[in-house]
A and B are shown apart, each in its own frame.
Chain A
Amino acid sequence: MSQTSYAPGISAGRISADTILDNFADLHPPLTDHEALVAADRCYFCYDAPCVTACPTAIDIPLFIRQIATGTPESAAQTIFDQNILGGMCARVCPTETLCEQACVREKAEGKPILIGQLQRYATDRVMASGVHPYLRAPDTGKSVAVIGAGPAGLACAHRLAMHGHAVVIYDANKKAGGLNEFGIAAYKSTHSFAQDEIDWLLSIGGITIHTDRSLGRGLTLAQLQDDHDAVFLGIGLSGVNTLALDGDHAGLCNAVDWIASLRQSDDKTDIAVGRNVVVIGGGMTAVDAAVQSKLLGADTVTIAYRRGRENMSASMFELDLAASKGVRILYHVTPTSVDDGSITFTHSETGEEINLPADQIMRAIGQTLENAPETLAISGGKIKTDDHGRTSISGIWAGGDCATGGDDLTVTAVAEGRDAAEDIHASLMGKG
């Protein structure tokens, strides 16, 4: 008998390759032309629109939707990219249900917001598919900026700097650029090679060089970077993982981010091993992504175990509904205490009860931490301290994205911070800052 969801232990190929392919198809298939026009027609073109206020990159949403409605999706894409050069990825991964679409007045009016995220994808996909890059690099300024980390913050920063005519050198610790776009996003949100395609498209502005497999502490020092460049931007993310002290040993214990990264690098996912009984510890997006994708790979039971209540969970209602629809169970108020071969034991913080769950695979998703940050930089709350312009405590060094203080740990927030830091770097280098 072939492998099934009920096969014990941790194994790949629990379900057929075809089913896996279906399961990991686009969560929201692209809108057709007709669907896009119908969706766009619902927009009220609000004054000082709440959706724009809710967008960390402040994309002029009513304008781009009107541009779609009037048959100019290319202009719509330009409106989006002007504010957010990774508008294509953000259209896929933004928790729109807690940002623009939550703020949409038609959410208030009818409980059905405009499909802002999907319309954004409609416009950006069209331009990116055409191969056109709608920005030109300004004449070379002779200035050079080092960007550490090729994630959303670093890429957004690099593009904006390149637009202003600076030479940008990006260093990334991984073998591929992209950061969480490449290694972290749930596979059904960014399908195929979109993350890499987007980077290629972004780099086509010119003036940006990427060196992979290089990071601070691994061949790079801040002092050397400062010597070699006119400015430095740190977008190094949170590469450390919080650990969890548990009694006992368990062979199937792993970090959710590592498991997700390997899944993201797999072409057809048939080689990704998953437990029959999976327990994910945590309450954020990473926990949901790990749990849902475990289920999509054919795990028999998947449980998210969170130590506090629903109200404290950072995962959105939409994400939790998605998890529930895939058959993921969520336990609240449970703290893991010990593991044993094939099981994990929790204590319920409200009742004091002990709960024992079968667990072939246990994924930790209890948050990431800053790692390899230069010791000379001021740190606040576990992050590199930055001001409103992304400036760190050291002159000439900026930071943004998950590694820096300010804003939520979201792709779109990282893009905004990278972009804004680039503007400040530009002003500073050109003597206007």
Chain B
Amino acid sequence: MADLTTDFIGIKSPNPFWLASAPPTDKEYNVRRAFEAGWGGVVWKTLGEAGPPIVNVNGPRYGAIYGADRRLLGLNNIELITDRPLDINIEEITRVKKDFPDRAMIVSLMVPCEEGPWKDILRQIEDTGADGVELNFGCPHGMAERGMGSAVGQVPEYIEMVTAWVKKHSDFPCIVKLTPNINDIRYPARAAKAGGADAVSLINTINSITSVNLDTLTPEPTIDGWGAHGGYCGPAVKPIALNMVAEIARDQDTSDLPVSGIGGVTTWRDAVEFLALGAGNVQVCTAAMTYGFKIVQEMISGLNQYMDEKGIASVSDIVGQAVPKAKDWQDLNLNYVTKAEINQDLCIKCGRCYISCEDTSHQAIAVSEDRVFTVKDQDCVACNLCVNVCPVEGCITMRQLPLGATDERTGKKVEEYGNWTTHPNNTAANCS
């Protein structure tokens, strides 16, 4: 059995699967069920400052988009931070942590952008036994309108300032949760590091309107005839999250900054992808909200099997393995030539490869009268669209042409590595 324990900025947990700060971690009842199900850690739903509790809408808080068979692919929410009294949350955090000492207990925080409230809230939670804090600079709806959440996360100077206050007023390991609703994720990450953050977590949710009701012509979720943008999450956002995690891992200023990966983690496979691109652990929300806490059992068994099969002893050995391979486009080998190949035994003859190539790509697939689909090497640019639209896994693959072989499309022989920076068509390269 592989060792799934992780040590993330000094916080130990039995596995790298944490629940993200969100509705599943809003109260003791849920969190106990999560720990009993096997989750390695929990980021408690964001606490605000003492005083009148937060108010939520009483209409729908979520909207969704679906794939085939009504599989939930993306979830949008307009729920705010915890709407329960601060003292009750603190009592519950303390109690649960005491009963589950081996699990990671992180407290998410969001208070106004002034030093006083941050100092106060940190003092109020210091005896909970929590293992760390996560600063919610990501929530894109509601709280942002009040100058908190993503309103802070969109201004690197604020991130640095608040992070510095937190480090000044507490000894908690500090994770800064970043919003993806910015142009370049590296700036907020650098600011967090400059402020003294021990780690960043990302991504928080993406500004979104999931749909429009076609009868009432109102955005969903609709509250008494109106809708407001919410935060988008779930499997659909994973590619965006992976790229942002990789951007931070690749940036020389932040390559040593630990990352907690968030965004559409649904299976153990997603988790390994985040780890490989530099995340030290992952946080999950939508998958749990869709299927319940039990899914962590598949994540644990899947990761275990994968590590055993690959001979990987520890989770930390996966972390960052794919980072050196995440490059800029200009680094890619322009002399690497592949051709699509259709396995006729697996082909079910749906013709989607043909029509997608014929209508929208390079007319590189032929169809015979008896409906046999074959690739025309002389036209195939290896775009991979046929692979992507084929409903049968492994039916269409990309075959690499060996060095020295002739590409029938260009008539040229496959050469050694060569990228854009040295390509003859690159006038900038020729200038230098």
Contact = CB atoms under 8 A, between A and B. Distances in A.
B352 A44 contact: yes
B70 A108 contact: no
Contacts of B391: 44, 109
Contact of A38 (B69, B351, B352): B69
Given A50-B371, A109-B392, A44 B350 contact: yes
B349 A108 contact: yes
A361 to B, nearest CB: 46
Nearest to B355: A47
Max chain A Cβ within 10 angstroms of own Cβ: one of B68, B70, B349, B350: B350
A46 interface: yes
B348 to A, nearest CB: 4
B344 to A, nearest CB: 12
Contacts of B349: 46, 50, 105, 108
A395 to B, nearest CB: 36
Interface string A35-62: 0011001101111111000000000000
Contacts of B70: 37, 41
Contacts of B354: 47
A384 B96 CA distance: 86
B68 A41 contact: yes
B68 A48 contact: no
Nearest to A40: B68
B350 A105 contact: yes
A44 B68 CA distance: 11
Nearest to B359: A47
Contacts of A106: 348
B241 to A, nearest CB: 27
Contacts of B392: 109
B69 A47 contact: no
Contacts of A48: 351, 355, 367, 371
A46 B373 CA distance: 13
Contacts of B355: 47-48
A47 B350 contact: yes
Interface in B337-364: 348-352, 354-355
Nearest to A41: B68
Nearest to B391: A44
B71 to A, nearest CB: 9
A44 B351 CA distance: 9
Contacts of B367: 48
B68 A46 contact: no
Contact of B68 (A42, A47, A108, A109): A42
Contacts of A42: 68-69
Nearest to A49: B351
A46 B69 contact: no
Interface string A108-148: 11000000000000000000000000000000000000000
A47 B348 contact: no
A108 B352 CA distance: 15
Contacts of B352: 44-47
Contacts of A109: 348, 391-392
A317 B261 CA distance: 54
A249 B277 CA distance: 87
A48 B372 CA distance: 12
Max chain A Cβ within 10 angstroms of own Cβ: one of B70, B348, B354: B348
Contacts of A41: 68-70
A230 B312 CA distance: 85
A392 B247 CA distance: 75
Interface string A43-85: 0111111100000000000000000000000000000000000
Nearest to A107: B348
A123 B413 CA distance: 56
A354 B354 CA distance: 58
Given A47-B355, A50-B371, A105 B348 contact: yes
Nearest to B392: A109
A41 B391 CA distance: 13
Interface in A164-207: none
A49 B367 CA distance: 13
Interface string B48-65: 000000000000000000
B348 A108 contact: yes
Contacts of B371: 48, 50
A37 B71 CA distance: 12
B390 to A, nearest CB: 10
A248 B156 CA distance: 103
B355 to A, nearest CB: 4
A10 B68 CA distance: 53
A427 B355 CA distance: 34
A205 B102 CA distance: 76
Max chain A Cβ within 10 angstroms of own Cβ: one of B69, B349, B352, B391: B349
A272 to B, nearest CB: 43
27 contacts: A37-B70, A38-B69, A42-B68, A42-B69, A44-B350, A44-B352, A44-B391, A46-B349, A46-B350, A46-B352, A47-B350, A47-B351, A47-B352, A47-B354, A48-B355, A48-B367, A48-B371, A49-B351, A50-B349, A50-B371, A105-B348, A105-B349, A108-B348, A108-B349, A109-B348, A109-B391, A109-B392
Given A44-B391, A50-B371, 11 more contacts: A42-B68, A44-B352, A46-B352, A47-B350, A47-B351, A47-B352, A47-B354, A48-B367, A105-B350, A108-B349, A109-B348
Interface of B: 68-70, 348-352, 354-355, 367, 371, 391-392
| Nearest 5 interchain pairs by C-beta | A47-B351, A47-B355, A41-B68, A46-B350, A105-B348
